[in-house]
Structure 1
Amino acid sequence: MGKTIKQAAVIGSGVMGVSIAAHLANAGIPTLLLDIVPNEQTGVDINTASYRNQLAASAIKKLQKVNPAPFFNPQAASLITPGNIEDDLSRIKEVDWVIEVVVENLSIKQELYKKLEQVWEKGIIVSSNTSGISINEMAAHCSQEFQEHFLGTHFFNPPRYMKLLEIIPGQYTKQEIINEMKQFCERELGKKVVRAKDTPNFIANRIGTQGMLVTLNEMIEGDFTIEEVDAVTGPAMGRPKSATFRTLDLVGIDTFYFVSNNVHEKLTNTSEKEIFKVPQLLEDIVSKGWIGEKAGQGFYKKVKTDKGKQILSLNLTTYEYAPSTRPKGASLEAAKLAKGTQKKLKALLGGGDKYSELAWNVLKHMLIYSAEKVGEIADSIVEIDEAMKWGFNWELGPFETWDAIGLERSVKRMESEGLTVPSWVKAWIEEGNQTFYSQKAGTTFYYANGSLNELEYAPEEIHLSSLKEQNKVVLSNSGASLIDLGDGIACLEFHSPNNAIGSDILTMIQQSTEEVRQNFEGLVIANQGRNFCVGANIMILLMEAQDEEWDEVDQIIRMFQNTMYDLKHFEKPVIAAPHRMALGGGVEVCLPADQVVASAETYYGLVEVGVGLIPAGGGCKEYMLRVSPESTPADRDVQSEINRVFETIATAKVSTSAAHAKKLGYMSESDRLVMNEGHLIYEAKQAALKHAQHYAPKAAERIRVTGREGKAMMKLGARQMQMAGYASDHDVLIAGKLAHVLAGGDVPQGTLVSEQYLLDLEREAFLSLCGELKTQQRMQHMLSKGKPLRN
């Protein structure tokens, strides 16, 4: 399992240091956060701990206001203890891992390591979060024993959300420590770890910086606007919406300037050194202080107008801001319409206009440079591809991109344009190879050292696509498949558009339970799509409602309810494994499970009111079972808890993490959180195997409801929200229907009702709301605009 880190210390409480401490706290690791003692101030007692620890303490306090939130739950901040380097450095003897995150200055780091070694004990791992300073130079004056426990661990910002972690061994780092830290960081911190070599800026920043500088130069030479460049280098190229210039604004143009200069200064090859020379354009922008979002302006600037916020873009000739415009071109439109990154790239490059030319000029230099660096910055193409995908959120790494656009064809074009392609790439093609990666019988092979090598995954990494290629699909239709995970466990995978639940998925759930009943020991509900499930297919519901086919709507809801009820009372264990967005019906699929094993980054919520409806697939019923089961004493006041449920559903609250979902009551204490999303299906499978050992199906349950009195309390709350301006008339109507369901109707307080009784109330409320014009308008707006309508 690798090394277990029980306690850690972070030295340096700047933005990066405190954010790393926060993510260690997310993983449940008590962390000591140290910084320097502040300069002396008059009028205060400089000898108190509160004064001497104030830099670290202030940094922890500021984290509570950071967006996006660095903590899964704000309470995790209690695991971070502030301190200072002068008084508390000796406390590193209490920890297993020390992470240095001080200013990027070699002499300052070296001086810190001299002090650190004086209190360091053998066995404690020490690492630097440097983004580019040599690991070997930093520890050059330390003993070999210290250096054996020393390495680079380069987190990407923000540490909670960015999955890449580059591990950079020093010349004396023990192999066992490298392996142990890789396993620990992947499993406990949820990181995608790549091993980099001790070269300037390591892997991701080396390739990424080169790509950014090439893009800047192409923009200047081609006289493109920043909007045109961002239109080409964003999703059309398989990269984030932030593309080039929004990314620079987010990262900080001054930070990029520093990183570029760092490589420029350290390289000795003249031609390569020239690549990293910062253009005058950046010099000018940094000198003006327009360094991005943290300064309020960079390449883009947000301003307030009478009509709300407006985004302005920088004219690179006049250095003035003007309203941002959206570029139009045949290749951009073709890429937008294409499905999948490979097809988008081909459409973009094949458009025959100036945007196609820009895309090609940016890509060709990046691909050649990446190939030149194999063996120098990383051992194989895999580390380079993984680093760019996880560090810069590219859909495809450089060598995967090369495969996508056609390796042999693109190399011929490069050479025809006078570029020099690395000899190993040409030799690879001459041997008859058309790609750097190949698939065979569910196994991925990749180029390394002149031959194909099998890409090996950790046992915790289960890839459903590989299992499909190995003919492990048991059942399948247009919306879902049942896949054999081995060891008697099957996985139900959704693969409809956006993984929205329709009759095809419900039918597959029914067929899957029958198959599992006969031939398996347990069922996992999971997939590896962008999101677990965004809810039910509201387009079908809207069409039926507009046609007033109420029997059809009733049948759809009954099918959903019956399927979820049967899933809950199934005689084999069911484990749900949601990730990313699990909304509406996606939550209702998870609620019947024996256990939810969720990715830490799961955004979970019953959001039906956003389209003018209420949960009707058992969501209300299951939530009520948690707060007011039959075992609840009749004289116990549960109204406050039910009010909380009412507010959560009525305001469509979505959790900011799986830990937050527990706090909201969507998940129970027995549900598990998995830090590494890539391990999710494996962990869910292990849970299913454990449940299968001694499994007893769930019995039907009854719910103790608050009846008409409870309903009145909830409706009063909705009216108060309306009076405060937070709810419209239609919101109040929906809230009234929800209150009726959660209260169990107009029965006396304390009445015990069956699960089916509450399901019937859910369905009746849902049907009546489907007939409301304003609900239909909300559904239509969500389908066309992708966001809720407030009417």
Structure 2
Amino acid sequence: MGAAIAGHLANVGIKTLLLDIVPRDLTEKEKKAGLTLQDRVVRNRLARSGKGRLFREKPAPLYVKRAAELIEVGNMEDDFHRLADVDWVIEVVVENLQIKQALFQRLEKVWKPGIVVSSNTSGISINKMAEGCSEAFRKHFLGTHFFNPPRYMKLLEMIPNEKTDPDILNEMKAFAEETLGKGVVVCKDTPNFIANRIGTYGLQVTLQAMEEMGLSPAEVDTVTGRAMGRPKSATFRTLDLVGLDTYIHVADNVRENVNDPEEKEAFQVSPLLAEMVRNGWLGEKSGQGFYKRVKTEKGKEILALDPGTLSYEPRQKLKVPSLDAARRAQSLPEKLQTLVYADDPAGKLAWQITKKVLIYSARRLHEIADDIVSVDRAMKWGFNWDLGPFEMWDAIGLEKSVRRMLEEGEAVPDWVQDLLASGKNSFYQKQDGKTHVFSIGGKYGEVNGHEKEISLARLKEQGKKIAGNRGASLIDLGDDIVCLEFHSPKQAIGPDIIMMMNKAIKELSANYRGMVISAEAPNFCVGANLMLMLMEAQDGNWPEIDLLVRQFQQTMGALRTVDRPVVAAPYGMTLGGGVEVCLPCDRIQAAGETYMGLVEVGVGLIPGGGGNKEMLLRVTEGVDPKDRASLQPLVNQVFMTIGQARVSTSGEEARDYRFVRSYDGITINRDHLLYEAKQTALGLYRAGYKAPRPRKIPVVGETGYNVLKLGAYGMLKSGYISEHDFKIACKLAFVLAGGNVPEGTLVSEQYLLDLEREAFLSLIGEPKTQQRMQYMLAKGKPLRN
């Protein structure tokens, strides 16, 4: 965990010193090399090993591998004195109070005023850790609980001790939000803080419900995943990922540190879990837990544990009417209401779990947090719930659910019943387009978000929508900047989005200073509407396909040449046509977690919306047309990027593929992306923006085409690609080379677009391409044919 935190600090450009203990024994390899325990390479082994894992772990802890250059390794004996020269010390040692106390008392001897010190504990008391330290040290001391993996998990719980300087707490909170991209929740110093306290309780009651109802882990996971607005890993897959031994440690920490006998009993680990740990069935890290992967004649299969026999059997999902009805629901509140009030096994399970978690959250609210919002954010950011407990309570109907809870003899906290008695029926309310929440003091107050958070949904509620259709909307962001929001299914580009883009471009030119293109769905854009294109191809409607591709190309051209700045703000999956929307924009403000790729070859096509032309524009800028030695390698690079359907693993890696340029921006905190994109558009306008003029592009021509084709042929003969892959590669090579023209010829952008469109149309008519398209739509993965 310490190395992973160091990795994320390096991701955002922070130099980090990673220290670990000195090994007590030599490895066999070290003995053979003649090393001793006094050699520096041996003494730094554990830290170096931690750093090395950053290159191998999946999902990757690093945005790009070169980020690790900012991490220097050392050990806690030879390099401990260097902690006097850092800005922030993060302790990530074993979860043992005595060891942590001893470490901090040792640290204070080299500590200098101004250095912030924090513990990455998941639940040990921050106040107890600081016992024995000076008041000055304690003013700079707090808990910073990163959720794992630190790069991807949004939640960072901050826990001040009794002496923590409020200014330091606020500075660290701002730093974590702005620089590290975290969602910070300030917690009280209680066992397991907020997210692990409620999350662990939820797992406990789910285990209990499984045993009481005689269900299997796979049947429970059918209910407790997406059907309830939770991650796909649901309950038992999540436990396997966390590690059963780790989970038991977290549960025991609560049980040992609370006083309420009922709560102690609630956190008593089940005999089933204890036996699994004794057997070494710890989950993913040991190869088996509640689930186990095995090889069968059909390939790899995932088996599920039978709690009664402790044997592994094929997974059996729960099949009941309420789950089918929930899947058809249009919104999450409708989905939850359909499920929790259903009179079948799924409904009974969902209700039992939900009511327990909601009552527990309400009962412990005053103890663990300052407000309802902190609890909801902690569970959404730390456990990836779509709704926090109090949002969920509103979603299923506060009044209806409390009435049922009371009928079933549950002890609903008085403050919740008092809220209902006062005539209110929800924790959250909408007032004048703003969200207000019930506070502990008994009144509603506005939910305060970060000043850099812009919500398109909230702006639409406030009447800021200018125009829209089923595919996209144009929204006023203020300061004469508009946002074109994609909201078609999976943000796929079809006629609706193209139509709205053209309307947005005209509106922008006539009335606004600049435009941002983004969305609020899980991903920016997965590409073109593949189903639509396949249907047209299967019907042989070539004029219609040609028209669609022309319209997309023309719209991208208008986007490039409009007389106002346009900034693309991609995030998440940004594929195919999604990349082609970004490439002609004046700037890209990408999220740190942006996965960009021109992936059309995966469905037997090449980019058709100007992607090839735009990539050539990028790599040939400033290149002498006669300098083949410089030009050919650049075209080769584009050929490999598109031909191998390379997708960046981060916004930073998108620079390596030339999707994001050196002067484009990257926003680490996804919630601040729209704000920073808007500021970029305003900055361009105020700087006297002028639209780029069309320019001639130098191409490698027929000679370069043969070079590219020869490379593809070598891959064909080596068995790396199929005959159809080779055909696609040759079409791509022809476009990128500029066709049958002499090497160094300057061609127009329209000439390249025509080549691109012709190649696209020829490929979509191929039966094997249509097979690939159909397979992708059905299976969600590419077909190699």
TM-score between both structures, scaled by the size of structure 2:
0.98
| C-alpha distance in structure 1 between counterparts of 2:273 and 2:764, whole Å | 55
The aligned counterpart of 1:487 is: 479
Give 1:39's aligned residue: 24
Q: Map residues 79-98 of structure 1 onto 2, 5 A cutoff.
A: 79-98=70-89
- C-alpha contact (below 8 Å) 1:72/1:656 kept by paired residues: yes
Does the 8 Å contact 1:630/1:702 carry over to 2? no
Q: Is 1:678 aligned to 2:699, yes or no?
A: no
Residue equivalent to 1:687:
680
Alpha-carbon distance in structure 2 between the residues aligned to 1:580 and 1:274? 42
| Cross-structure match for 1:5 | none
Conservation of the 8 A alpha-carbon contact between 2:220 and 2:318? no
* Matches of 1:597 and 1:252, distance apart in 2: 37
User: Which of 641, 648, 651 is equivalent to 1:658?
Assistant: 651
Superposed displacement of residue 666, structure 1: 1.5
- In the alignment, what sits opposite 2:491? 499
1:555 matched residue in structure 2: 547
**1:40: how far off?**
4.2
- Identify the match of residue 612 of structure 2 among 608, 616, 620: 620
- 1:722 partnered with 2:707: no
User: How many angstroms apart in 2 are the aligned matches of 1:333 and 1:585?
Assistant: 33
Q: Residue 359 in 1 paired to residue 350 in 2?
A: yes
The letter of the residue matching 1:81 is E
The residue type equivalent to 1:659 in the other structure is E
- Are 2:295 and 1:304 equivalent residues in the alignment? yes
Q: CA deviation at 1:629?
A: 3.6
In structure 2, which of residues 108, 112, 115 is the aligned counterpart of residue 117 of structure 1?
108
Aligned to 2:4: 19
2:438 equivalent in structure 1: 447
Residue type of the alignment partner of 1:71? L
Q: Quote the Cα distance in structure 2 between the aligned partners of 1:477 and 1:335.
A: 27
Distance in 2 (CA, whole Å) between partners of 1:442 and 1:683 is 23
Q: Structure 2: how far apart are the matches of 1:643 and 1:69?
A: 27
Deviation of 1:668 after TM superposition, in Å, equals: 1.0
For 1:288, the equivalent position in structure 2 comes to 279
Runs of at least 5 residues in structure 1 that lack an aligned partner in the other structure: 1-15
Corresponding residue to 2:732 among 725, 731, 738? 738
Q: Residue 631 of structure 1: CA displacement?
A: 4.1
- 1:148-187 superposed Cα distances (whole Å, 9 cap, x missing partner): 0000000000000111000001000011111111111011
Structure 2 CA distance for aligned equivalents of residues 390 and 355 of structure 1: 26
759, 770, 786: which one aligns with 2:753:
759
The equivalent of 1:531 in structure 2 is 523
Match of 1:649 in 2: 642
1:621 Cα deviation after fit:
0.2
Counterpart among 54, 61, 79 of residue 70 in structure 1? 61
CA RMSD of aligned residues (A): 1.1
* CA contact 2:219–2:316 (8 Å) conserved in 1: no
Quote the residue 1:162 is aligned against: 153
Letter paired with 2:455: H
Return the alpha-carbon distance in structure 2 between the equivalents of residues 286 and 538 of structure 1. Answer: 47
Superposition pairs for residues 368-767 of structure 1, below 5 Å?
A: 368-449=359-440, 450-629=442-621, 631-637=623-629, 638-693=631-686, 694-767=688-761
Distance 1:91 1:636 in 2: 51
Return the letter of the residue paired with 2:552. F
Q: Does 1:771 align with 2:765?
A: yes
Q: Distance in 1 between matches of 2:627 and 2:641?
A: 25
User: In 2, distance between residues paired with 1:498 and 1:74?
Assistant: 30
Structure 1, residues 699-736: CA drift from partner, whole Å, max 9, x if none?
10111111111111111222222222221111111111
Q: Out of 204, 207, 210, which is 1:219 matched to?
A: 210
Match of 2:236 in 1: 245
Within 2, Cα distance between the matches of 1:262 and 1:443? 39
Deviations 1:460-502 (A, max 9, x none): 0011111111111111111111111111111111111111111
Q: Which amino acid in structure 2 is aligned with residue 487 of structure 1?
A: D
Aligned mates of 1:785, 1:50 — CA distance in 2 = 49
1:580 deviates by: 0.4
Distance in 1 of aligned mates of 2:330 and 2:601: 31
Q: Give the secondary-structure state (helix, strand or coil) at the position aligned to 2:366.
A: coil
Aligned pairs, how many? Answer: 776
CA distance in 1, matches of 2:765, 2:220: 47
Distance 1:270 1:148 in 2: 34
- Kept in 1: contact 2:91–2:120 (CA 8 A): yes
Instruction: For residue 345 of structure 1, report the CA deviation from its aligned partner.
Output: 1.1
Distance 2:98 2:644 in 1: 53
Determine the C-alpha separation between the residues in 2 that align with 1:773 and 1:563: 29
Runs of 5+ unmatched residues, structure 2 = none
In the other structure, the counterpart of 2:328 is: 337
CA drift of 1:622 comes to 0.5
Shift of 1:633: 4.3
Partners of 1:456 and 1:96 lie apart in 2 by 29
Q: Distance in 2 between matches of 1:62 and 1:657?
A: 18
Question: What is the CA–CA distance in structure 2 between the aligned matches of 1:786 and 1:438, rounded to whole Å?
Answer: 39
User: Does the alignment pair 1:780 with 2:774?
Assistant: yes
Q: For the residues of structure 2 that align with 1:21 and 1:462, how far apart are their CA atoms?
A: 30
Aligned to 2:140, which of 149, 153, 159? 149
| Structure 1 Cα separation of the partners of residues 236 and 700 of structure 2 | 56
Once the two structures are superposed, the pairs formed by residues 158-307 of structure 1 within 5 Å of their partners are: 158-307=149-298
Q: Which moved more, 1:664-673 or 1:614-623?
A: 664-673
Residues 123 and 192, structure 2, Cα contact 8 Å, conserved in 1:
yes
**Per-residue deviation at 1:641?**
2.1
User: How far is 1:48 from its partner?
Assistant: 2.6
SS in 2 for 1:83: strand
Structure 1 contact 630–704 (Cα < 8 Å) conserved? no
CA contact (8 A) 1:630 1:703 kept: no
Q: Is the 8 A contact 1:148 1:173 kept in 2?
A: yes
Match of 1:4 in 2: none
Change in CA separation of 1:224 and 1:70 when aligned onto 2, cut-off 3 Å: same
Q: Which amino acid aligns with 1:490?
A: V
Cα distance in 2 between the residues matched to 1:121 and 1:630: 51
CA deviation vs aligned residue, 1:631-681 (integer Å, no higher than 9, x gap): 434124222221121111111111100111111122111111100000000
Give me the whole-angstrom Cα distance separating, in 2, the residues matched to 1:540 and 1:504: 12
Cα distance in 2 for residues equivalent to 1:425 and 1:188: 38
TM-score normalised per structure 1: 0.97
Alpha-carbon distance in 2 for matches of 1:478, 1:763:
26
Q: Deviations over 1:768-789 (max 9, x none)?
A: 1111111111112222222222
C-alpha separation in 2, matches of 1:632 and 1:288 = 68
Q: Distance in 2 between matches of 1:254 and 1:182?
A: 31
